[in-house]
Structure 1
Amino acid sequence: MKRNTNYYIRKAHRYLGLFLGIQFLFWTLGGLYFSWSDIDKIHGEHLVMEKKDFSTTSGLIAPDSILIKINSRQPLTPIAKIELVETLGEPYYQLQLMTGEYRLFSAKTGHLKPQFTKDEVIEIARTYITFEAEVKETELLTIVSNHHEYRERHLPVWAIAFDYEGDPVVYVDAVTGQFERIRHNSWRVFDWLWMMHTMDYETRDNFGNWLLKAFSILGLITVLSGFLLFGVSYNKREFKFLKIKKS
């Protein structure tokens, strides 16, 4: 009876280990990459210049005047936030609407700024990066999937890919002209390993998904079965060792 128990425990431990081994490998590789990586470099901060102060704040129209002027033409959705920003050396009032949309108005003339063109966003991107490189490709993104490296961010956005080490891509908001993100190969590896680590293959950040819970429970069972297997077979091994030693 004892022999049969050992057999089934050993067999269960073996197949559980084989089934979970690949995921354990990804967890280990991800943990090593996360712990040995500089998170600032993963975010690309070494590729981005620090934000500069405003070059000038004189001669600006008061934001109240612009709001009055806007509402007299076409009332806007209630405004959640007004912020003074500078893009390509020009001051603008950036309006965030309650709907989550943005509008950009010149702080000098009060005119609505149309969406930024490809040439403008390339120039904006160059003012933020710390390296010099040729532009490989530009693309205006109006929709992205859950697996895109610029997911869960404001759209539309321009993606400017540079011919540089790590294949960096700079994302500039098409409406506000603001630098949003920079992505490069180290971040992409991090993101992929993070997805494998959380086992959330849709959004990557859901730690409560059923697949992760199931593998965590099976992993615990595998470890416990290993301890149990050692416990039920320890005395037998010890007896053989003592017998050999006496002879």
Structure 2
Amino acid sequence: MSMKRSWHWRIRKTHRYLGVLIGVQFLFWTVGGLYFSWSNLDDIHGDPMKRPPGALPLQGALVSPSVPLEILRRRAGIDSIMGLQLIDVLGQPIYQLTYRTQDGHGHARTYTQLADARTGQLRNELTKGEATRLAQRRFAGSSAVERVEYLMATDPHHEYRAKPLPAYAVTFRQPAHATIYVAAQLGTVQSIRTDPWRMFDWLWMLHTMDYQGRDNINNGLLRAFSGLGLLTILSGFALYFVSSPRFRRQRPNSRKPIPNRQ
């Protein structure tokens, strides 16, 4: 086998095996890219299904935020206040107080406490009934509720991953299987998930090749397949050049012609 044919055979073999190895992943990337490019992100996020939060009427006096803050100061271990916000919970003005505590080992943790803005008294997290009514108010579709779940923890593949817990998952009885997640201690709607979003999320996992948490685009598997994909493309270009008659050189003939002596 000549040197040229040996290189031709090696490039062809390399390109073929690389194509088999990453062809399925190329298919996932293509299908995912098509779905992403043809999808409206507002629809994926469920924005058309969410009503904007209501405005609080200017009726009745509100106590100073210093009242619930003073109650919080009396609690042992409170280090500092991180945030203060006035929110509407089912038409009632509520202070949302975010504070930080430190344990004996110096580790800081952040908590959120709700307080009645009319009396200053601290209140418990949302009940199941309150969370359900809040979800129905914010949902623009049918208000028929199919089920309500109380979530204390989620795994890295859950559609409500990396968001405030505990939370209520209020699922509505309608074609898109919309679920509204309400953070119990924050008293607010965090997200809405529908079947189009779940399809998007599944394809995103295949796209990023992060089979642990779905959102890490710097994982080693993706980097490896990206490098192999580039190598496959380059081997295809090389195979074209070594196979094209336009770029192929004729092999020199080592045998000289015998002169005719007649």
Tell me, yes or no, whether TM beats 0.5.
Answer: yes
Instruction: Name the amino acid aligned to 1:169.
Output: T
Q: Which has the larger radius of gyration?
A: 2
Tell me, yes or no, if the aligned pair for 2:169 and 2:180 is still in contact at 8 Å.
yes
1:61 corresponds to which of 60, 63, 66: 63
Distance 2:226 2:73 in 1: 56
Map 1:44-83; keep pairs closer than 5 Å: 44-56=46-58, 58-72=60-74, 76-83=78-85
> In proportion to residue count, which structure has more helix?
1
Tell me, yes or no, if the aligned pair for 2:167 and 2:184 is still in contact at 8 Å.
yes
Alignment partner, residue 10 of structure 1: 12
Distance 1:24 1:72 in 2: 60
| Superimposed CA distance per residue, residues 151-201 of structure 1 (whole angstroms, 9 cap, x where no aligned partner) | 111100000111111111010111122111100010011111111111111
Alignment partner, residue 221 of structure 1: 231
Aligned length: 239
Distance 1:189 1:58 in 2: 47
**CA positional deviation for 1:93:** 0.7
- Is 1:180 paired with 2:190? yes
Structure 1 residue ranges without an equivalent (≥5) = 240-247
- Is 1:192 paired with 2:202? yes
| Superimposed CA distance per residue, residues 94-135 of structure 1 (whole angstroms, 9 cap, x where no aligned partner) | 011132211000001122211222111111101101111421
2:213 corresponds to which of 203, 220, 245: 203
Distance 2:247 2:160 in 1: 57
- Is 1:142 paired with 2:170? no
Distance 2:183 2:135 in 1: 10
Distance 2:98 2:72 in 1: 14
Q: Cα gap change, 1:87/1:229 in structure 2, threshold over 3 Å: closer, same or farther?
A: same
Matched residue SS, 2:161: coil
**CA positional deviation for 1:20:** 0.5
Tell me, yes or no, if the aligned pair for 2:242 and 2:248 is still in contact at 8 Å.
no
Matched residue SS, 2:78: coil
Structure 2 residue ranges without an equivalent (≥5) = 101-108, 250-262
Distance 1:141 1:184 in 2: 18
**CA positional deviation for 1:73:** 6.0
**CA positional deviation for 1:238:** 8.4
Once structures 1 and 2 are overlaid, which stretch shifts more, 1-10 or 168-177? 1-10
Q: Cα gap change, 1:109/1:17 in structure 2, threshold over 3 Å: closer, same or farther?
A: same
Task: Tell me the TM-score normalized by structure 2.
Answer: 0.86
Identity %: 42
Matched residue SS, 2:23: helix
Task: Tell me the TM-score normalized by structure 1.
Answer: 0.91
Once structures 1 and 2 are overlaid, which stretch shifts more, 150-159 or 52-61? 52-61
Alignment partner, residue 161 of structure 2: 151
1:25 corresponds to which of 3, 24, 27: 27
- Is 1:164 paired with 2:174? yes
Q: Cα gap change, 1:70/1:238 in structure 2, threshold over 3 Å: closer, same or farther?
A: closer
**CA positional deviation for 1:75:** 6.4
Instruction: Name the amino acid aligned to 1:143.
Output: A
Alpha-carbon RMSD? 1.8
Matched residue SS, 1:127: helix
**CA positional deviation for 1:142:** 0.6
Distance 2:6 2:75 in 1: 85
Instruction: Name the amino acid aligned to 2:94.
Output: Y
